[in-house]
Amino acid sequence: MAQSGESDGTIRVLIVDDHPLFRAGIRERLEVADGTIVVVGEAEDGHQAIGLVGSLRPDVVLIDISMPGMNGIEATRQIHSDFPDVRVIILSVHDDDQYVQAALDAGASGYLLKTIEASELRGSVIGVAHGDSALSPAIARKVLTLLSGTPTDAKKLSERELQVLTLAARGAANKTIAKELSMSTRTVEAHMRNIFDKLGVSSRTEAVTQAVRHQWIKLSDVD
């Protein structure tokens, strides 16, 4: 199971975060004397990350959730789909259920809070490179809860957001949704943005397919 750079003992890491200072901080804390971990690159958004994963073939990708453009969860999904042997660890400030769920669904091997200690981070990276999973303690508890018959899905989206998403699923444009629900198009856009974030997607089409597949919305009167 060690077919990439890991075979010679070094673990190749790609850091993805939109804050240069944060990337530098992580890099410093990872690259300690023994040379076990090598940071082979940095990316500042999801698109760049996917490109670099292709060219650099890191063993582990450390990625933030909230980034401009393509968010970390969506990027994780694509990395996991395009390069199944590349492990992804989410580095997040959020410990919300929905993010954890979405991140793990997207194929992440780890979900660490940014409050993690440097030594623990190194341990997690090494562990994940060898096939383990890494979860911050607070996250681990949530995951267990999620596994034991989770009603998280229902609470994921607010009532208003579900109404918006339902209409969107019928093909309604934001303008139409706005008229239907008596709100401005800007509010519809805001709801859509929040829905995207919660579901870990980056387009209305993705949001709608997820909703349809998980039956969060009633399609009964669509045809």
Contacts with its own copies by CB under 8 A lie at 74, 77, 81, 105-106, 168-171, 173, 201-206, 208-209, 212-213, 219, 221-223
Query: Is residue 186 a contact point for DNA (CB under 7 A)?
Result: yes
Cβ–Cβ under 8 Å, residues 75 and 53:
no
Considering all CA atoms of the chain, what is the largest pairwise distance in Å, rounded to the nearest integer?
64
**Rounded Cα–Cα distance for residues 15 and 221 (Å):** 46
Tell me the one-letter amino acid at 118.
A
Distance CA 66, CA 44 (A): 11
Residue number, 125 or 207, with CB nearest to DNA: 207
Q: How far is the CB of 176 from its own copies (least distance, A)?
A: 9
- Select from its own copies, DNA, none the partner in contact with residue 38, using the beta carbon and a kind-dependent cut-off of 5 to 8 Å: none
Q: By C-beta, is 139 or 211 nearer to its own copies?
A: 211
SS3 31: coil
Nearest-angstrom CA–CA distance, 40 and 60: 10
Check binding of 122 to DNA (CB under 7 A): no
How many CA atoms are closer than 13 Å to the CA of 112, on its beta-carbon side?
25
Q: Which of 69, 118, 153, 222 is close enough to bind DNA by CB under 7 A?
A: 69
Q: How far is the CB of 45 from its own copies (least distance, A)?
A: 15
- By a kind-dependent CB cut-off of 5 to 8 A, residue 77 interacts, out of DNA, its own copies, none, with its own copies
Which amino acid type is present at position 211?
A: A
Collapsed DSSP state (helix, strand, coil) of residue 133? coil
Q: Which of 140, 187, 210, 212 binds DNA (CB under 7 A)?
A: 187
Decide which of its own copies, DNA, none touches 119; Cβ closer than 5 to 8 Å per partner kind: none
Distance of alpha carbon 42 from alpha carbon 186, whole angstroms: 34
The two tokens of residue 204 are: 């209305």
| Interaction between residue 144 and DNA (CB under 7 A) | no
- The beta-strand segments (E) located in 78-127 are 87-92, 110-113
User: At closest approach, how far in Å is the CB of 169 from its own copies?
Assistant: 5
The least CB distance from residue 180 to its own copies, in Å, is 10
Instruction: Specify the residue, 14 or 169, whose C-beta has the smaller distance to its own copies.
Output: 169
Identify which of 198, 101, 102, 114 has the alpha carbon closest to the alpha carbon of residue 143. Answer: 101
Which positions touch DNA (CB under 7 A)? Answer: 67-69, 158-161, 173-175, 181, 183-187, 189-194, 196, 202-205
